[in-house]
Amino acid sequence: MMTGAAADVGPKDGRQRPSARTSDTWFKWLLVAPAAVLILAISIYPLLFSIWVLFVNYDFQIPGHAFVGLKNFKQVIFDPVAVYSLWVTVALSTINVVVEFLLGLAIAMAMANTFRGRGVLISVLIVPLFISPIIVGQVWVLMLHSPFGPTNYLLSQLLGYEVTIKWLTGFPWNFVALILADVWQWTPFMFVILLAGLTSIPPHVYEAAELDGVGPWQTFWYITVPYIAPMMLLAVTFRLLDAIRLFDTIFIMTGGGPGTSTYSASYYLYTIGFTQFHLSRATAGAWIFMILTLLVVFLLVRRLLTMESK
């Protein structure tokens, strides 16, 4: 039998002693310490290094790293190619996201109801999401290449006269080609998110609207849209954050050309940093681009949180 002293060794309420809790805490920190140190090493060090590069002349073609202050920022801000690339990024991102949203919403509305073969059709529709943007760009180059691609030939047969559009080198068709490739790949992203929102709407809401004689257009605007508005904004936010970093398809399809006509902000930074080796200017441009992106993110997330709190 246990004596009274032995029975009173541990707390009767099952709580650990302070020393045991301290040991558990230190053990938990010890387990996560290697991962935390690795994350800090691969994130904090490059960040601090980039801040140093901002204020020196870090150029592979010029020896030494002389302090230049804000000169790198001035060179980017007053560079007409940088300003032009920013406007190209805004235009392409806006057009891509709007077109993908509208097409994704239309497809999601068509797929919201259950029918035979629905699962197979959805599986086919989302295939572009799993293809690398490099491969997508190369496929569209083969399709739109003039004169060997099939696009101009098919248009000639359809319209009844010879079509000789220069999809990859002529304005505005080079922008149309970039939009086509992006829309083809990323419309399924919008479709999947919006379909999830549509399927979450309670069926009895539509049944009540039908009994009240509400038309399809009024049902869409006053029932469907308010219900999936947060999902719409979420889809647009995620897609926009990815669209403003457009680089892969431009690199493969147009190479930024002709000249600098299809430079996006990402392609401009790549050219300045890794083709011309002006790393300080490229770093300054990257910081400017990041700050502008953070402003957009802040506005969209704030709007999303406001909708969620209602």
128: nearest Cα among 177, 196, 197, 181: 181
Per-residue confidence (pLDDT) for residue 7, from 0 to 100: 46
**How much of the chain exceeds pLDDT 90, in percent?**
56
Residue scoring higher pLDDT (66 or 182): 182
Does residue 144 register a pLDDT over 90?
Answer: yes
Per-residue confidence (pLDDT) for residue 253, from 0 to 100: 95
Most confident option among 20-29, 93-102, 200-209, 295-304: 93-102
Residue 209: how many CA atoms within 13 Å on its side-chain side? 17
Per-residue confidence (pLDDT) for residue 71, from 0 to 100: 92
13: confidence class by pLDDT, cuts 50, 70, 90: low
Helix (H, G, I), strand (E, B) or coil at 258: coil
Q: Can you tell me the mean pLDDT for 175-185?
A: 96
| Sign of the dihedral through C-alpha 175, 181, 182, 188 | positive
Per-residue confidence (pLDDT) for residue 2, from 0 to 100: 47
17: confidence class by pLDDT, cuts 50, 70, 90: low
Buried-state track 274-310, b at ≥16 Cβ within 10 A, e below 16: eeeebbbbbbbbbbbbeeebeeeeeebeeebeeeeee
Does residue 58 register a pLDDT over 90?
Answer: no
Give the chain's mean pLDDT: 88
Per-residue confidence (pLDDT) for residue 18, from 0 to 100: 62
CA 58 to CA 277: how far, in whole Å? 9
For the chain, which residues make up each domain, given as ranges? Answer: 18-54, 73-309
Does residue 66 register a pLDDT over 90?
Answer: no
pTM: 0.84
Per-residue confidence (pLDDT) for residue 16, from 0 to 100: 53
Domain 73-309 sits in CATH at 1.10.3720.10
Per-residue confidence (pLDDT) for residue 30, from 0 to 100: 84
